[in-house]
Amino acid sequence: MLDIFNNDAFSVTSLTDAISEKRVRSGRLGELGLFQTTAVTTLTIALESIGDTIQLVAPSPRGTPGDIRDNEKRSIRNLSIPHFQRDWSVVADEVQGVRAYGSETQLATVQGIVAQKIAQNIADLDLTDEYSRIGAVQGIVTYKGGQTLNLFTEFGVAQPAEVDFDLDAASPAAGVLRKKCVDTIRAVHKVLGGVPFDYLHAFVGDNFFDDLLAHKEVRDTYTGWSEAQILRDSYVGPNRSSNPMFEFGGIVFENYGAIDSAGDGALLGIATDAAKFVPVGVPGLFRTYYGPADYVETVNTLGQRLYAKQWPMANGKGVNGETQTNALHICTRPAALMRAKRT
């Protein structure tokens, strides 16, 4: 009965191709398209840094030697690509009745069982990707179990100080909130050394978002506008998501969601009083590297986002299987990741 698993449809290549065709539940960070994806053949990546600013070129008379770029200190950083794996199995009773070796109908039935097993684990790996991305946009990637990748330490830069937006001020000065927004945008421009970006996106916690909406300066800004205009200008468009969001002071504020301290998803969110600012549209700022699986078949091959493999249990009881990803999500210039607090 279990001979069917010797079919090519259950090889590493076929199973991996099958799951690659499934729709990825990328999460909000994936929807925004912040992360540029690169497949590599190694288990580590080496990042070379040559300074952190763009230099201006001085004019020179035509026909004379040109300007010489200032020498900058180069540095190499090696980062390991984390390995994430979920195991599954199909026991003999689950494919009871599948007898003939070559039947396409019976093969499809077993493929359906395997696909269901794999899909359950893909959902967890999708969540893990989002978990890592939300860490990368804050500069510190935290993995389940407490391991961390501090990008500020890795790149040798200081984490920007947390700006107090003072959203609970009883009588805020006129224009003070807009100035906080403008100062934050300027700070990002300064760190990027003149590299342009499309706009600044803020992922904020529940209390920060609620107090921002209730702030007198925000309410005064929208006074006299029809609801349709507010919806048209602030709640729809290319930055729209299922999360509450609006634009103020040149920044798109999105209520990403609260941290749930009760379960495994505890760190998948933004602290309720915090805001994390991300420049959108900077090439190579956020990177995802996919490495190869730890199989003989995949040695020295370009990494894929997901892999699946199965092998027989002892005594013909069924098959064991696993679904895995080898993914590293980082920000290459973490000093540009500004942050703020509600009060």
What are the tens digits of pLDDT across the range 23-47?
A: 545 578 888 889 999 999 999 988 7
Residues 77, 57: Cα–Cα separation, whole Å = 28
Highest-confidence segment of 108-117, 159-168, 228-237: 159-168
The whole-number pLDDT of residue 233 equals: 52
Give the angle 210-169-246 at the CA atoms, nearest 5°.
Answer: 30
The whole-number pLDDT of residue 264 equals: 45
- Strand-pair category, 199-204 with 251-255: parallel
How confident is the model over 90-106, as a mean pLDDT?
63
How confident is the model over 265-270, as a mean pLDDT?
64
- pLDDT range class, residue 72, cuts 50, 70, 90: low
Are the C-beta atoms of 287 and 36 separated by less than 8 Å?
Answer: yes
Q: Among residues 227, 245, 226, which one has the least CA distance to residue 235?
A: 245
For the chain, give every domain's residue range.
Answer: 2-52+77-146+286-331, 158-282+334-341
- Strand-pair category, 74-80 with 318-331: unpaired
Longest dimension (CA), the chain: 85
Residues 84, 126: Cα–Cα separation, whole Å = 11
**pLDDT above 60: residue 229:** no
Q: What pTM was estimated for this model as a whole?
A: 0.81
The whole-number pLDDT of residue 21 equals: 58
- pLDDT range class, residue 100, cuts 50, 70, 90: very low
CATH 3.15.30.10 fits 2-52+77-146+286-331, yes or no: yes
The whole-number pLDDT of residue 146 equals: 83
**pLDDT above 70: residue 340:** yes
How confident is the model over 42-59, as a mean pLDDT?
66
Residue 120 half-sphere exposure toward CB, CA atoms < 13 A: 11
The architecture (CATH level 2) of 158-282+334-341 comes to 2-Layer Sandwich (3.30)
